[in-house]
């Protein structure tokens, strides 16, 4: 069951990433990025990192993507214009991407035996619940930086609204 879940949501994440790159309209690209982030949240959940999955959904799929869409709408970005592109990008980009793919395939295939013999995650039954420790640290010792960051984000949003407001 877990393998099927990994295959389905891994493929969904890869498909969303490819759609993100191939879309001409920025809003569709942003929606594809939401699909990628939600798929990653499911993968985190399937690995036993429930807090990380919840943070992925709340912070990245929620807050960050709202800011992305806000900026796209604010800039009034339309459909991307079709250009021929440069010859250097085609002559270097495709062979470079193929070389990186071959290198990564070689590394993964040559290290497959050593990765299977090591137990990276350890025994999941003896795992310590870090959510209580993380939240206690976040809301005690790290409270000031946490709140300053939220105020800075609020000021940045207000600054973007003021700068983008059209003069009558």
Report whether 58 contacts 81 (CB < 8 A). no
The range of the structural domain enclosing residue 133 comes to 129-168
For 23, list phi and psi in degrees, rounded to 5.
Answer: -70, 145
| Last residue of one domain, picked from the residues 12, 44, 79 | 79
Q: Determine how many CB atoms are found less than 10 A away from the CB of residue 54.
A: 14
Q: Would 34 be classed as within a structural domain?
A: yes
Q: Would 63 be classed as within a structural domain?
A: yes
63 vs 44: CA distance, rounded Å: 19
141 vs 100: CA distance, rounded Å: 43
Q: Would 99 be classed as within a structural domain?
A: no
pLDDT bracket for residue 114 (50, 70, 90) = low
CATH number of the domain within which 69 lies? 1.20.120.1200
Query: Tens digits of per-residue pLDDT, 45-57?
Result: 888 888 888 888 8
Helices 65-75 + 143-164 axis angle, to 10? 20
Q: Are residues 74 and 1 in the same domain?
A: yes
Q: Which pLDDT value is given to residue 10?
A: 92
Q: Would 52 be classed as within a structural domain?
A: yes
Q: Are residues 1 and 73 in the same domain?
A: yes
Residue 160, SS3 per DSSP: helix
Q: Based on the structure, what is the number of domains in the chain?
A: 2
Q: Are residues 4 and 74 in the same domain?
A: yes
18 vs 36: CA distance, rounded Å: 10
Q: Would 66 be classed as within a structural domain?
A: yes
Q: Would 153 be classed as within a structural domain?
A: yes
- Answer yes or no: is pLDDT of 126 > 50: no
| Last residue of one domain, picked from the residues 45, 79, 113 | 79
- Answer yes or no: is pLDDT of 13 > 90: yes
| Last residue of one domain, picked from the residues 79, 108, 140 | 79
Within 118-142, residue ranges assigned H as helices are 131-138
Which has the higher per-residue pLDDT, 121 or 101? 101
Q: Are residues 72 and 133 in the same domain?
A: no
Q: What is the pTM of this model?
A: 0.57
Label residues 63-73 b or e (16+ Cβ within 10 Å = b).
eebeebbeeee
Query: Tens digits of per-residue pLDDT, 148-167?
Result: 888 888 888 788 777 777 65
């Amino acid at each position: 069951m877990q393998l099927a879940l990994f295959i389905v949501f891994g493929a969904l994440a890869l498909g969303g990433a490819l759609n993100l790159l191939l879309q001409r309209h920025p809003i569709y690209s942003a929606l594809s990025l939401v699909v990628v982030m939600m798929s990653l949240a499911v993968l985190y959940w399937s690995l036993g990192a429930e807090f990380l999955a919840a943070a992925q959904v709340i912070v990245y799929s929620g807050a960050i993507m709202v800011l992305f869409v806000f900026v796209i709408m604010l800039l009034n970005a339309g459909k991307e214009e079709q250009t021929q592109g440069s010859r250097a990008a085609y002559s270097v980009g495709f062979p470079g991407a193929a070389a990186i793919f071959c290198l990564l395939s070689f590394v993964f295939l040559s290290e497959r035996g050593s990765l299977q013999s090591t137990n990276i995650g350890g025994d999941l039954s003896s795992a310590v619940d870090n959510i209580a420790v993380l939240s206690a640290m976040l809301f005690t010792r790290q409270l000031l930086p946490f709140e300053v960051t939220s105020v800075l984000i609020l000021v940045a949003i207000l600054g973007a609204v003021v700068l983008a407001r059209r003069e009558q």
